[in-house]
Structure 1
Amino acid sequence: MDPAAPSTQAEAGAPDTLCRPEGAYRVVLPDWGGWLRILDGAAGDGDGEDGAQADVDRLLQGWLRRAVRLRPPGAAEFAPLASVAAMPADLADALLAEGARLFDAEARALDLRVTRDGDTVVLRCAAGSGVSALRLRPLSLAERNACLRPHLGLVDGVPSVDAAGYEIALVAASTVLAEGGRALGRAEVAALPVALGEALAREARALSDPDAAAEIEAFLAAGLPHPDIELAGLCLAYGLSPAEAEALPAATARRLGAAAQLVGAAGSAATPAIANRPPDDPGRGALPDTLTRIVVRDG
């Protein structure tokens, strides 16, 4: 079964949205890839009230250019708008409202349902939607970086991220058909309905690219324990890999973490010698003997 649901509006059969002296207007919903490009085109610095308003204006103009078609009197076909800058505000508002209505109708027709079981997420749609159930999995760091790396670059010397390309790549790498396990190609992912693409992107980010910085910063500022802070502290203090640190007994890890904080607070320049050993040294990864004897009393 095709994972991409048919659009709620086939362009050839979509009803006229609004008739004006200059012709008949029609709104055609973009697919998810098209919607991401509209958002990308609207992105600016957003600084201050003027910057935020400029972003809104770009979003509206991008929407009108991509989603609205016009058939002038006597013409047989609908075509994209030649210009949107001079469009009357009431017409733009009416077309935007129609787009919102169609997006809502598309989402309701899909009737998305999400099931989570550990690190596996399954999205199912209404039986008559034409969309197969989709399963997502978490990516390794290498897999996630492979999605991101091609979408980084410099534009006139300024770092740039193709956010739309990265999101499509992330979803494609994370998603397979729940039945049969066939992976989705990026073109298939880009052609998904907007509501389904956005839902998949949210789940893929939660599995493989969570925005953890704000949470960790808040816990760190409040002096509260957080497992990622504890893990990073052990790795930095003792030259351990995350896997080695997580394999420690919990009580040992807590005592070593506390000792490292106290030593650091005292301004000690002592660095575990283990961190400076060659990578092939069989002793690399063992806990520093001196601190182990001081802190670890009962294993």
Structure 2
Amino acid sequence: MHRLFGGWRGDPRIWRRGIILAVLALLLALVMLLHSHIPNRVGNLGSLTETFLPWLGVAIPVLLVLGVLRKSATALLTILLPAIVWLNLFGGLLTDRTGAGGDLMVATHNVNADNPDPAATARDVASSGADLLALEELPASAVPVYEKALASTYKYHAVVGTVGLWSKYPMTGVRDVDIKLGWKRAMRATVTTPKGPLAVYVAHLPSVRVKVEAGFTARQRDKSADALGEAIADEPLRRVVLLGDLNGTMNDRSLNAVTSQLRSTQGAAGSGFGFSWPASFPMARIDQIMVRGVEPESSWTLPRTDSDHLPVAARVKVDTSS
């Protein structure tokens, strides 16, 4: 280390070199710090930035190495700014917040409509031990396969459109939730757990696309998120669990109608970022378990199946105080 930096002493150019790197570091810090102010009017650029916001941190070590190679004290000092901002935003996710408690395990999985082996996928997620299991992207032709594969583990289940809920506890009040799509991709049920009734929502919000000519196209997803948020706001039960593929991260402002009402189990009781998509190289957590009136104890991703998503799971403590 002394050999690396020893030659810098007495060199006045260390403060003049690397100005471009310093400017890039400053811009990086501003983007992360002010991401909520990036407008969505053009290509939903704000939501696109927020979807992959944690990955902006990858640029920090790159700038650091370039600053060292350039022998620029100005660049190295400026790089501290994005590092501090990133740690302030995501440093908490680097610690293990999981607990050993919880009296209910829940899981959700987008099984992929083109899954080549739905029976194996069903067995894999059921083997996790989940008391409640939500599945999304269920093609009508594969529903009987999932029902048969899960019958021995789950006594109760309901399928509404392309989403389904399997439960070890009785389910009542099953109905579809209108998320303004014209077809059914969300449902709600009351699950009678040993600790009392629980409102469980299962949702698969529309996909988003990144196109060169149009940017981040998410108008239908955003409209459905608002409708889902309205349904949850009208939910009479205090204890609520939302399971599903929201096609968006907790940082995405367009999901605010949902995220403002519920807590993410990964953010509250996970270890790491819990990225769930794509399964081959997870880059974003778009599969969510969110709660209200329920205390997250632990949250994690399950092993990969034949889907392009990873299953996610959580253990929660059902609050019986009221």
Q: In which range does the TM-score fall when normalised by the shorter chain?
A: under 0.3
Q: Give the TM-score taking structure 1 as reference length.
A: 0.21
TM-score, scaled relative to structure 2:
0.20
The one of the two structures with greater contact order (alpha-carbon pairs below 8 A, sep at least 6) is 2
Structure ID, larger Rg: 1
Q: Which has the higher strand share?
A: 2
Q: Which has the higher helix share?
A: 1
